[in-house]
Amino acid sequence: MPQMATRQWMITHEWMVKPMHQREWIERRGIMIWIAETFTSLGAGLYLVSLFINSWWGLLVGWLIIMFLKLPIHLAYFGKPWRFYRTLPPFSNAWKTSWFARGILFSVFFGTFGFIQLVFGQPDLANLIGHSITNPIYYTFGVLAGLNVLGVGIYGGFIMNYVKGIPFWNQGILPVVIMLAGVADGFGLIMGIALAGGDASVAWAEVGSRYLLLINVLLIVTYLISAGYTSAVAKLSIQELLKGPSAFMFWVGLIILGLAIPAAVSLVGLLGGEEASSVLLIVAIAAHTLGAFALKYCLLRVGIYRPLLPKVGAY
């Protein structure tokens, strides 16, 4: 075989013998996946937290984040967004086998049920019609919207988890990590709504955020340890995360901004026996939100494909 042809064959088939980064979901147009998935966590987490504490303003903001930030960016990534209906029944049975199709189905149901809940939960309308009429509708559709927003928040983790060629993603705990990180994001955002005069308690949000931060730290540590035992390729992902090209985003974006600063502000309030100052709380909310972007970036950036041929022992 001529030298040039040999060289071309080696380049074309490099993925067969070397671990290769996935680029589809994090580079060029793939950046939209990163941004959309982050808004998914923020919106779904806020909606779930708002359901629990019955905050209408929190429900509204969470619904708007998903419907007007997450969905448009996701649909724009598809290239031909007007064809998304082809993934839905009765046009397709893809939802039976595809988490992608299930995610679209969850989003459609959530958008519909959440809108109805918001309409009948609107305080002025409820007072006008009567709570005896609006409350049953509000709580019924709240349950339906809650179940579907849970699906919206977790399906991205299942999509990544089902990519068998990327060992770092192929961890059963990944959907749980993503979902609980989203709930922690929701506590941060509901704190912002409370500071803006909305129907939520800053003190309650601080307590919830404190526990979720601790849980998320334990989950992230568990996830990294579990992934490290998976394969040599997963260890490459962890090395890149801890001391490679993605280390800055991991240590500064996720650990310092997303976890350490919110935890420090929460600790100040806990030790002081009262709520932290509004300035500190705003800093914590901003840092926590940036940490949400950093988490999704890190997970997507260090996704490395296992080579087709079993020659990874040297890597």
Per-residue model confidence as pLDDT tens digits over 242-265: 999 999 999 999 999 999 999 999
- Residue 6, pLDDT above cutoff 60: no
pLDDT tens across 118-148, in order?
999 999 988 899 989 999 999 999 999 999 9
Across 183-192, 205-214, 282-291, least confident range: 205-214
Helix (H) or strand (E) holding 20: strand 20-21
* Confidence band for 270, pLDDT divided at 50, 70 and 90: confident
Structure tokens at 103: 């995610």
* Confidence band for 269, pLDDT divided at 50, 70 and 90: confident
Structure tokens at 303: 């996704």
Q: Which residue has the tokens 């490099």?
A: 14
Q: Which residue has the tokens 């001391």?
A: 243
- Residue 272, pLDDT above cutoff 80: no
131 burial (CB, 10 Å; 0-12 / 13-18 / 19+) is exposed
- Residue 81, pLDDT above cutoff 90: no
What is the rounded average pLDDT of the residues 192-212? 89
- Cα gap 199→121, rounded to integer Å: 13
Q: What pLDDT, on the 0 to 100 scale, is given for residue 91?
A: 75
Q: What value, to the nearest 5°, has the Cα angle with vertex 49 and ends 48 and 53?
A: 120
Long-range contacts of 197-202 (CB under 8 A, 24+ apart): 198/55, 198/57, 198/58, 199/54, 199/55, 199/56, 199/57, 199/58, 200/50, 200/53, 200/55, 200/57, 200/58, 201/53, 202/275, 202/281
Structure tokens at 271: 């030790």
Torsion sign over Cα 250, 255, 256, 257: positive
What is the rounded average pLDDT of the residues 186-201? 92
Q: Enter the pTM of the model.
A: 0.91
Across 87-91, 137-141, 196-200, 288-292, least confident range: 87-91
